[in-house]
């Protein structure tokens, strides 16, 4: 399972049509899929009651309703796709670079884990998904959320604990959820939601939906029992699930070699028979290509897969980490590791886009991030009564 | 109908009524060790009656992920002792998903399990661990004593949009009672007066309800008229029902099989003290197991498990002052 991909995977128009699974789901389950929900605090909650109900409602026109992704990576040709990937990575980079500024200003508090240097994985995987595909991530998930289409303003506001945050300020940096965009969970307990992704994939299978679940985690999570038990179940049940490991070589402060004798995560899952591939996570085109092949197979019923992306975490485990445990990266090495600089060089040399177009994409991303951060500051803190109200979900009206 | 058959009937009824309901757990397709899921695989197929490996932590997470994606899983953890393995998932994922997502996610999950001592099963298959669960906002906790409540509360738990832990008692599984067919839902959070009395209120749940009723009969022969309240649900707890009774009796005993130290009885006692101190004519008395693991040896286990004698002694203590 190492050389099946010969060209970047592209989503065909038929892939975006959701009517097939909708019909499958209805006939299989024969139940009412949507009920009204009067409480605005429960926005989206009704959707979650039936998995992809939101996709059922909005899925057919998602491209129209989401101008950010109107064309969709891969939909209109390689050159545009590469430029879009560059734009997504710039948005992630600028977002992550804004976070420490918000932290220093006292606006973003708490534990902040940034993904600077790992943008190639987010863009090469999450941006390849359909809106109704389900995504789970961990504590370092800002980039994944952005690549999946979660609005920047809602993300900033969430990090600031504001009412307009995607989780109304009740989740925070480590717990970004945006059901409307298929982001179903982010966990601060390392590896803790890998089983949830198995459950979502199981639901898609039972509902005969053409829906993929993807879970992203770091190499530290591979040493949890959850990872091994989940891989076992996903393989046993041949679920439409792709495990994506961002192997940045460090579990918090400690190098991988101090925690395990198994160097490559792909080797860990070999006995379970998963389709698997290790790629250079700083090469977004390689990530996209490998992920496309594995995702298409998993979606098509060929069983789960694991994509291991070797990547580099430029900043510390969290903001404020003194990083005494490793040497600073040299300029030359960073030039080679930086996924954005690499795609820009390659895109221009391959003729996928001009340097001017790349500069425009960079400027647009910067503008979008700055505007989102500015708007997020205008949001207010959530009302105190919200925390009491959201401990338990209310019964849906009959 | 036996208690375990009532559970079985409630599961079958829920699965017939709602195709989103699936049953998961170790050996469930074979019916499980107590036959709670017997016959379900035959009627609903193995797509909906899902045998899982012995991976409690992950399987609980799978059920949570399935619940927030559209199914209504009823997960069986064979013994509550093994819930310890799944606590991370229950506490850090299931209980907080709705809250942390700002109301976007719902986890309509039921975790069925059974606890309790008396079967010579040793210290890892006999515990009463509800205290670990009631301390977690976001979970609901149910401990039925009667077959009719085991079925009716389970039906309500499956319909509830939140994670609900239903703790059955292995020593009650084969008690026989009349249960309506089809099962009638019993609302969560509503206690039941099992016996009316004037002198003292005994609040109990699960197996200790029967011990409290036997204690009340014995006390009646001594001229003490005890009221027995079956709490049925611990979270949300029906404090109003208890306060209403205490306002008449002025005396309260709380009784459970779990270890007394840090037990739910302490929470009830404290809540009643706070809300109705001036109604009490004596300090609230607690009945619970001593602070040891459940012993294996027969005479020791019999001495360990709290019951009628301990409840009678506690009632008499409230009457001294």
Query: Predicted ipTM?
Result: 0.95
Q: Taking residues A36-61, what's their average pLDDT?
A: 33
CATH number of B192-320: 3.40.50.920
8 Å CB contact of B92 and A187 = yes
pLDDT digits (tens, 9 = 90+) for A347-394: 999 999 999 999 999 999 999 999 999 999 999 999 999 999 999 999
B19, B68, B137 ranked by CB distance to A391: nearest: B137
- B273 an active-site residue? no
With contacts defined as CB-CB under 8 Å, which chain A residues touch B162? 392-393
Q: Length of chain B in residues, anyone? A: 321
| A206/B159 CB distance under 8 A | no
| Among candidates B18, B65, B161 on the partner chain, residue whose Cβ is nearest the Cβ of A197 | B65
For residue A371, being part of any structural domain is answered with yes
Percent pLDDT > 70 in chain A is: 79
Which one is the CATH code of B3-172: 1.20.910.10, 3.40.50.970, 3.40.50.1110, 3.10.310.40? 3.40.50.970
User: Residue A111: which CATH number?
Assistant: 3.40.50.970
Distances in Å between the Cα of B48 and the Cα atoms of A206, B15, B30, B214 are 8, 9, 13, 41
Chain A interface test: which of B103, B134, B141 (most A C-beta within 10 Å): B103
- Decide if A389 is inside a domain: no
Nearest by CB to B101, which of A171, A199, A392? A171
Quick check: is A200 in a domain? yes
Subunit contact A391:B88, Cβ cutoff 8 A: no
Dihedral over Cα of A196, B102, A121, A62: its sign: positive
Residues of chain A with Cβ-Cβ distance to B63 below 8 Å are 199
pLDDT confidence of A8, banded at 50, 70, 90? very low
- On whether residue A186 sits in a domain, the answer given is yes
In the annotation, is B125 catalytic? yes
Average pLDDT, chain A: 82
Are A192 and B53 within 8 A, CB to CB?
Answer: no
**Does the beta-carbon distance from B100 to A177 stay under 8 Å?**
yes
The structural domains of chain B, with segments of one domain joined by +, span 3-172, 192-320
pLDDT tens track, chain B, 321 positions: 999 999 999 999 999 999 999 999 999 999 999 999 999 999 999 999 999 999 999 999 999 999 999 999 999 999 999 999 999 999 999 999 999 999 999 999 999 999 999 999 999 999 999 999 999 999 999 999 999 999 999 999 999 999 999 999 999 999 999 998 888 999 999 999 999 999 999 999 999 999 999 999 999 999 999 999 999 999 999 999 999 999 999 999 999 999 999 999 999 999 999 999 999 999 999 999 999 999 999 999 999 999 999 999 999 999 986
Contacts 24+ apart (CB under 8 A), B122-127: B122/B294, B122/B296, B123/B293, B123/B294, B123/B295, B123/B296, B124/B79, B124/B81, B125/B79, B125/B81, B126/B81, B126/B294, B126/B301, B127/B80, B127/B81, B127/B258, B127/B294
Q: What is the dihedral of CA B88, B92, B96, B101, to 10 degrees?
A: -130
Candidates B104, B135, B140, B165: best to mutate against A (most CBs of A within 10 A) is B104
Residue B24's pLDDT is: 98
Partner-chain residue, chosen from B20, B48, B99, that has the shortest CB–CB distance to A31: B20
On whether residue A355 sits in a domain, the answer given is yes
> Residue A264: which domain range?
40-382
> Looking at the predicted structure, is the pLDDT value of residue A56 above 50?
no
- Say whether B192-320 and B3-172 share the same fold: yes
What is the DSSP secondary structure assignment for residue B94, as one 8-state letter?
Answer: I
A39, A42, A207: residue with CB nearest B70: A207
Element (H, E) at A215: strand A213-218
Is the per-residue pLDDT at A178 higher than 90?
A: yes
B160 vs A: CB within 8 A: yes
- φ, ψ of residue B23 to 5 degrees: the values are -110, 130
Give the closest residue to B33 by CA, choosing from B76, B87, B74: B76
Residue A5 maps to a domain: no
**How is residue A2 written in tokens?**
């190492």
* C-alpha triplet B35, B39, B42: angle, nearest 5°: 150
Q: Hey, what are A91's tokens? A: 């948005």
Phi, psi of A53 (to 5 degrees): -55, -40
How many structural domains does chain A have? 1
The answer to whether A44 contacts B103, with C-beta atoms less than 8 Å apart, is yes
Asked if B156 is an interface residue toward chain A (Cβ–Cβ < 8 A), one would say no
**φ, ψ for residue B214, nearest 5 deg:** -65, -40
Catalytic member of B125, B211, B227, B257 = B125
Confidence of residue A74 (pLDDT cuts 50, 70, 90): very low
A58, part of any domain:
yes
Distance from CA of B295 to the nearest CA of A (A): 31
């Amino acid at each position: 399972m190492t050389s099946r991909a010969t060209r970047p995977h592209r989503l065909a128009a038929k892939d975006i049509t959701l009517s097939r699974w909708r019909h499958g789901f209805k006939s299989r389950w024969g139940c009412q899929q949507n009920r009204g929900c009067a409480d605005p605090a429960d926005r989206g909650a009704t959707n979650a009651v039936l998995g992809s109900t939101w996709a059922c409602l909005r899925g057919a026109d998602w491209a129209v309703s989401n101008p950010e992704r109107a064309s969709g990576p891969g939909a209109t040709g390689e050159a545009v796709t590469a430029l879009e990937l560059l734009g997504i990575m710039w948005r992630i980079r600028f977002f992550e670079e804004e976070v420490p500024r918000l932290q220093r200003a006292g606006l973003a508090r708490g534990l902040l884990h940034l993904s600077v240097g790992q943008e190639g994985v987010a863009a090469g995987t999450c941006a390849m998904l359909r809106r109704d595909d389900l995504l789970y991530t961990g504590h370092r998930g800002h980039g994944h959320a952005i690549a999946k289409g979660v609005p920047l303003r809602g993300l900033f506001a969430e990090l600031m604990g504001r009412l307009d945050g995607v989780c109304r300020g009740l989740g925070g940096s480590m717990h970004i959820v945006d059901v409307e965009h298929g982001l179903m969970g982010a966990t601060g307990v390392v590896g803790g939601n890998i089983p949830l992704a198995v459950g979502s994939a199981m639901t898609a299978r039972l509902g005969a939906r053409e829906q993929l679940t993807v879970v992203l985690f770091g190499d530290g999570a591979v040493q949890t029992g959850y990872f091994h038990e989940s891989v076992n179940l996903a393989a046993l049940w041949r679920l439409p699930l792709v495990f994506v490991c961002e192997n940045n070589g460090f579990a918090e402060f400690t190098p991988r070699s101090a925690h395990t004798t198994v160097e490559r995560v792909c080797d860990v899952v070999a006995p379970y028979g998963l389709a698997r591939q290790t790629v250079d996570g700083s090469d977004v085109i390689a990530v996209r290509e490998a992920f496309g092949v594995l995702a298409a197979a998993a979606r098509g019923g060929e069983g789960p897969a694991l994509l291991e992306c070797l990547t580099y975490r430029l900043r510390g485990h969290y903001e404020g980490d003194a990083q005494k445990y490793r040497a600073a990266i040299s300029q030359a090495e960073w030039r080679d590791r930086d996924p954005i600089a690499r795609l820009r060089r390659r895109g221009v040399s391959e003729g996928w886009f001009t340097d001017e177009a790349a500069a425009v994409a960079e400027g647009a991303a910067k503008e979008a991030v700055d505007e989102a951060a500015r708007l997020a500051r205008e949001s207010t803190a959530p009302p105190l009564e919200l925390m009491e109200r959201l401990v338990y979900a209310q019964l849906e009206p009959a | 109908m036996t208690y375990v058959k009532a559970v079985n009937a409630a599961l079958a009824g829920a699965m017939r009524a709602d195709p989103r309901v699936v049953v998961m757990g170790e050996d469930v397709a074979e019916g499980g060790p107590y036959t709670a899921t017997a016959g379900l695989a035959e009627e609903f197929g193995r797509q909906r009656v899902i045998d899982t490996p012995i991976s409690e932590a992950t399987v609980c997470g799978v059920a949570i992920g399935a619940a927030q994606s559209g199914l209504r899983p009823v997960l069986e953890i064979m013994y509550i002792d093994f819930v310890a393995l799944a606590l991370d998932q229950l506490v850090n994922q299931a209980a907080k998903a709705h809250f942390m997502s700002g109301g976007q996610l719902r986890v309509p999950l039921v975790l069925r399990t059974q606890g309790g001592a008396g079967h010579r099963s040793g210290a890892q298959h006999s515990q009463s661990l509800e205290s670990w669960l009631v301390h977690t906002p976001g979970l609901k906790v149910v401990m039925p004593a009667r077959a009719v409540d085991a079925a009716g509360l389970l039906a309500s738990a499956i319909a509830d949009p939140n994670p609900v832990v239903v703790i059955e008692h292995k020593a009650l599984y084969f008690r026989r009672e009349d249960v309506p067919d089809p099962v009638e839902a019993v609302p969560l959070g509503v206690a039941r007066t099992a016996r009316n009395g004037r002198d003292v209120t005994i609040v109990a749940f699960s197996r200790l309800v029967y011990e409290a009723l036997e204690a009340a009969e014995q006390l009646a022969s001594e001229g003490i008229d005890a009221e027995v309240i079956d709490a049925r649900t611990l979270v949300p707890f029906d404090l109003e029902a208890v306060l209403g009774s205490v306002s008449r009796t002025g005396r309260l005993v709380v009784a459970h099989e779990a270890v007394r130290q840090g037990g739910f009885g302490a929470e009830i006692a404290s809540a009643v003290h706070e809300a109705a101190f001036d109604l009490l004519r004596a300090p609230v008395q607690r009945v619970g197991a001593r602070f040891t693991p459940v012993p294996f040896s027969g005479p020791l286990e019999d001495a360990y498990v709290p019951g009628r004698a301990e409840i009678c002694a506690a009632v008499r203590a409230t009457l001294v002052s």
